[in-house]
Structures are given as C-alpha cells and as structure tokens.
Amino acid sequence: MTSDGRRPVAVFISNLRTLDDMTGLYPPDWHERVLAARQSPGYISSPPFDIAGVATGYLVLMLRSGEEVMRDMAGAAALVMEMTRYAVETLDGDVIGLGSLTTSITHGGQDVADLIDRQGWKIRATHGDSGSVAAIIECLDNAGVRPEAKIGLVGAYGVIGTALSRHYAKTSSQLVCCGPRPEKLLELVRRLRQESGADALPAVDIRMMTLADAVITVTSHPSALLGPQHVRPGALVFDPAVPANTKDEPGWHDPERDNLVIANASQVRLPGVAVHSAMFGTFDEPDSCPTSYACLAETLANAVFGDREHHIGEIDLDFVARTARRFALLGFRHAVPRMSGMDISRALLRHALSR
C-alpha cells in the first residue's frame, strides 16, 4: 500500500513497433477505438490489470510506429509529455516506465523526470533499462556463456551498452565495443580500462564482432543491422533490441555455422501479472504465464516495492543487482529462449554443453 492507503499504480508507456500492431495487439471490438485514438489524443490505455495481488498496472501505447517516431522525434517527445500528464492526472500513477523509443527521444527519460519535478508530481520515472540489463545478464548466464568469454557489444556506449560493458569488463578476457562514433568508443574504452583494467577494443566496423564468443546487440537502430556475416561460426548472439537488430535469414540457420540468435534476450515471465487478460481478453490456456520485456517488469517491480526514486540516465549497477533481487522475489525469471519464434532451450543446452 502507498502512504495514503491505496494500491500502488504502475503505468508503462511505449510506442508501436509497426502499424500492424494497431490491429494485431487488440481484439476486433477495439479496432475502431484504436483508429480513432490514433487521430486524437494519439495514444490509448489498457484497462487496469493486477500485479501480484498488491498493485495495479496500465499499458499506455503511443499509436505511432517506430519509423514514425524516428521521423518526427520532437512531435513524439511532446506526445510522451502528454502521456505522462495522463498517467498522473487520470491514472493516479506512482511509477511511469518508458518503453521502446520513448526513452531515447526524451534524452534517456530526463525530460520526463524534469517535467515531473517541475510539476511537483509524486510519480517517479524509470527507463526500465536496469531491468533489461538484469534480464540480459541472466540470459547469458542461462546460456552457459563463461565469465571469461570474449564479449562483443553493438551499441556499446548507449545506456544499456555502457552498463553491460562495465559489468562484463570485470570478468571478460576481452570486450569488443562497437558503435559508429569513434570519440564515444574511445571515451568508453578509457573508462573500462580505468575502472577494471579491462582488455577493451573500440570498433567502428561491425565486422569486428567476429572476435567475440558472444555478441549482444543493444542499439535503437530502427531496422536489422547484424547479420551472420558479422559474427564467427559458433558464436551466440543475444538480441534484446526493440526493434530487433537482427532478422531471420538463411545464414543464421546454416548448420556449419552453428550460430544461435536469442531473439528475446530481455524478456521475462510475469507470474501473477494479468497484463494479457487486460489487453486481449482471457488467456488461451488457464495456466499460461504472460511474457513481456524486462523494462515493463522493472516498472511493475518498482511500484510493488514502493520505489520513490527516478531511475533514468546512466544505469547504476548496484540498482541492477537490486532489480534482479526484486525479480527473484516476484518470480520474474527470464523467458524460455526463442529463435525465429521457436523454443530453442534444448538446442541452447546442447550448444552450451559442447563449448
């Protein structure tokens, strides 16, 4: 309960991946409502859903695709501000989470936090990226990636990339840090060497990912940019990005290459959360468990545990560890790894044991 005796409220906002989501995410009786909301106010909320019997959640979706957001970032950022006000004034939110591109277009969530502080609202903002980092680390651990493995990071100096770089710099025998801006790469590499003495290599050429045993791609690029030609045979590829930084193509399925692409590297199972029933009607199977992105999971966990801080900007690795503990207490565990929409847990196990 909050200090005023009510259930805490988590509000998670995001944008559509593609315009197909306008009909694909909603049941038929919602379609007319969604199309009208696209014109005004530009977003739509789910009904309330239960979080572990102790909190209430809402999903509020900006009805613009990722490509539309990137074409008009200023307009989309202004809409995020309107959605924040809606979360406060209509939904009485305690925590607001920023999903997909809503973080990057608001300067890592800083614009949202600044608006909240100026208005004196009680709600607190998170970009949810600490949850994403916790889930990615768990995913690599579950996949059998050795602590000393050579790790490649595409998008290494972004918010998530920097946190993962700092985490793996402590144990990895070599980090290959990739991004398009040489000055940002050099700044990151210097920091990693100073903090942990890491063997870190800056790479503006994505083909340098061939040096890595495991590749993590965490960019906000609106389309796929990593292909099988960019990694060495036998490498594991973890793609938590939304939109995805990889796409299903024949080269990934070449048995001689022995690559596995884990396409849901930042997704977690959410037992005790009725998010799907609120959005889409009843479950197809009574015992099914919703799966969603870890940034949503962190937003829900922050509400449940009464977190009263903003979590935006650079990720605090101590808070990543705290988020992992909260996930464990709530039973939020990494989802079964998937590649091209298929359960690959057995193949992944064989792959890990053969290394």
Q: Where are the alpha helices (DSSP H) in 30-72?
A: 31-39, 66-71
Q: What is the pLDDT of residues 67-101, one digit of tens each?
A: 899 999 999 999 999 999 999 999 999 999 999 88
Same domain (yes/no): 136, 206: yes
Give the pLDDT score at 352: 45
Give the pLDDT score at 338: 62
Cβ-based neighbour number of residue 227 at 10 Å: 13
Give the pLDDT score at 261: 86
Nearest 5°: CA angle at 255, between 254 and 260? 80
Same domain (yes/no): 26, 156: no
Same domain (yes/no): 110, 170: no
Taking the C-alpha atoms of residue 199 and residue 272, their distance in angstroms, rounded to an integer, is: 42
Structural domain that includes position 216: 130-267+337-353
Q: What is the pLDDT of residues 56-66, one digit of tens each?
A: 999 999 999 98
Give the pLDDT score at 276: 58
Give the pLDDT score at 334: 85
Same domain (yes/no): 37, 77: yes
Tallying the residues shown for the chain, one arrives at 355
Give the pLDDT score at 2: 67
Residues forming beta bridges with residue 260, ordered by sequence position: 236
Give the pLDDT score at 281: 43
Specify if 275 maps to a domain.
Answer: yes
Structure tokens at 44: 């739509």
pLDDT tens per residue, the chain (355 residues)? 666 778 999 999 999 888 887 777 777 888 899 999 999 999 999 999 999 999 999 999 999 998 899 999 999 999 999 999 999 999 999 999 999 889 989 998 999 999 999 999 999 999 999 999 999 999 999 888 998 999 999 999 999 999 999 999 999 999 999 999 999 999 999 999 999 999 999 999 999 999 999 999 998 776 789 999 999 998 999 998 877 889 888 888 888 888 888 888 888 999 988 875 455 443 344 446 788 889 999 999 999 999 999 999 999 999 999 999 999 999 999 887 665 444 444 455 444 434 4
Specify if 2 maps to a domain.
Answer: no
Same domain (yes/no): 74, 156: no
Same domain (yes/no): 164, 226: yes
- Number of structural domains found in the chain: 2
Same domain (yes/no): 248, 107: no
Nearest 5°: CA angle at 268, between 160 and 328? 95
Antiparallel, parallel or unpaired: β 95-98 and 9-15: parallel
Q: What is the pLDDT of residues 288-332, one digit of tens each?
A: 678 888 999 999 999 999 999 999 999 999 999 999 999 999 999
Structure tokens at 260: 């596995």
pTM of the model: 0.88
Give the pLDDT score at 100: 84
